[in-house]
């Protein structure tokens, strides 16, 4: 009788402990998902990994872990998880696409091609486009011999330097003291980025210089541009819901565009105004103005986006900037189209993480359209050597549009640096 009683006690304890353990693990996964939803990827990946210690090769947890590493720009870590994801019977075509991108980022080109070949038969046009692009991968290298890339001298450091622009023969760029992961949304309004400046001895030799102390101390959160006459600076800034005067149970953060009247920069309170179309529920960032000052391009996920971040345009009117217009499906995709730059012949340059490319962010260009029905012709990959298997972005073209500067982390996949390019014609 006692033995039977003891047996039931042990069974009860085993079931209780197992149930408690299962509940704890479910709680672990739930906590990781909450962190992921809130875009706290660094914390989320640690919790997913803890879950995988108990349930190795779990499709969902492996996939979420890989996605976290993708978001954190850590392809070396992501590649440890994507193969397990695609081996699962639950794997989707989008999983295969992410696996293919991860293979590209790790320079495993032959394996990536096999994945893209399979995707070429997808009924999803955006997925099939990757496969079709790799049916003839040599197309991305056609003009590579005519493009010369050189890292500039005197400017790059162990900190990130990116998004260079040249104004009145002076080069300006962004530097990030916190080495923040490249994300197209913000989790804080902490200001860690600054505008740097350099004088140009020639196209390749630069001398870092404090061109304007107040300008270098301006709190920015990404790309900026000057109006053609230099009277106004347009810049990206991270703002909290509290700063935007939005009532919310939880504080949230968004990128917003602001303008600075340069003539007031040395005032105790410089004249800084918010962009008239800013909305606190969306991101507005990466401003770029045409050479004639008549068109303003920027990036947003506002209503009317195709998915992710899209490029929009406003035209100058007698009443200021007109309403934003999505530049169209010839440029924008279901992914992120970012860092726009409009050049002298009205060709739009930008970077995308979704249109088929060499890996990471690639630089694309869209020629102006002669049709009134659309702004641009279909975007084309700028090709190698301008693009690499890592992130290439923030391009700025000099007069003539066959040379300029851009930023890339191609050296070691962690440090953004400024490069000079020249295209022979």
Region 117-139: mean pLDDT is: 85
Q: Quick one: pLDDT at residue 181? A: 80
**pLDDT over 60 (residue 16):** no
Residue 4 binned pLDDT confidence (cut-offs 50, 70, 90): low
Domains of the chain: 2-141 (1.25.40.10), 144-423 (2.120.10)
pLDDT tens for residues 198-232?
A: 999 888 999 999 888 999 999 899 999 999 999 99
Orientation of helix 125-133 relative to helix 93-105, angle to 10°: 40
Main-chain phi, psi angles of 150, to 5 degrees:
-140, 130
Residue 367: predicted pLDDT: 96
Share of the chain above pLDDT 90, in %: 69
Question: Tokens 């309403």 belong to which residue?
Answer: 323
DSSP lists the bridge partners of residue 284 as 300
Query: Is 420 in contact with 403 (CB distance < 8 Å)?
Result: yes
For residues 323-344, one letter each, b for 16 or more C-beta atoms within 10 angstroms of the residue's C-beta and e for the rest, the string is: ebebbbeebbbebbbbbbbbbe
Mean per-residue pLDDT for 20-29?
A: 66
């Amino acid at each position: 009788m006692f033995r039977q009683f003891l047996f039931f006690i042990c069974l009860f304890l085993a079931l209780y402990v197992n149930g408690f353990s299962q509940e704890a693990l479910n709680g672990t996964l739930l906590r990781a998902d909450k962190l992921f939803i809130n875009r706290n990827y660094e914390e989320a990946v640690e919790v997913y990994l803890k879950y995988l210690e108990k349930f190795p090769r779990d499709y969902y947890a492996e996939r979420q872990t890989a996605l976290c590493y993708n978001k954190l720009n850590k392809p070396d870590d992501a590649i440890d998880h994507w193969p397990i994801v695609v081996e699962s019977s639950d794997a989707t075509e989008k999983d295969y696409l992410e696996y293919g991108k991860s293979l590209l980022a790790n320079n495993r080109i032959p394996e990536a091609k096999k994945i893209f070949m399979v995707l070429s038969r997808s009924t999803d046009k955006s997925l099939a486009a990757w496969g079709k692009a790799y049916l003839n991968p040599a197309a991305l290298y056609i003009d590579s011999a005519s493009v010369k890339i050189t890292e500039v001298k005197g400017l790059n450091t162990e900190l990130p330097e990116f998004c260079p622009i040249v104004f009145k023969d002076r080069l300006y760029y962004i530097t990030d003291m916190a080495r923040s992961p490249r994300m197209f949304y913000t989790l804080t309004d902490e200001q860690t980025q600054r505008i740097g400046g350099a004088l140009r001895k020639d196209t390749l030799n630069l001398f870092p210089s404090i061109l304007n102390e107040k300008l270098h101390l301006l709190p920015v959160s990404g790309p900026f541009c000057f109006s053609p006459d230099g009277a106004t600076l347009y810049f990206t800034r991270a703002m909290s819901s509290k700063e935007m005067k939005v009532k919310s149970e939880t504080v949230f953060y968004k990128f917003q565009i602001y303008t600075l009247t340069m003539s007031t920069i040395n005032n105790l309170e410089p004249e800084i105004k918010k962009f008239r179309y800013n909305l606190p529920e969306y991101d507005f960032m990466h401003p770029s103005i045409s050479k004639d000052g008549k068109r303003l391009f920027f990036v947003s996920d506002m209503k009317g986006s195709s998915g992710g971040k899209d490029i929009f345009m406003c035209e100058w009117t007698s009443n200021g900037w007109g309403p934003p217009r999505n530049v169209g499906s010839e440029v924008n995709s279901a992914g992120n189209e970012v860092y726009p730059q409009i050049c002298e012949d009205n060709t739009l340059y930008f970077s995308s993480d979704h249109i088929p490319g060499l890996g990471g962010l690639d630089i694309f260009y869209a020629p102006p359209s002669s049709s009134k029905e659309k702004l641009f012709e279909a975007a084309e990959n700028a090709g190698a050597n301008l693009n690499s298997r890592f992130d290439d972005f923030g391009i700025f073209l000099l007069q003539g549009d066959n040379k300029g500067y851009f930023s890339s982390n191609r050296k070691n996949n962690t440090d953004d640096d400024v490069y000079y390019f020249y295209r022979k014609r």
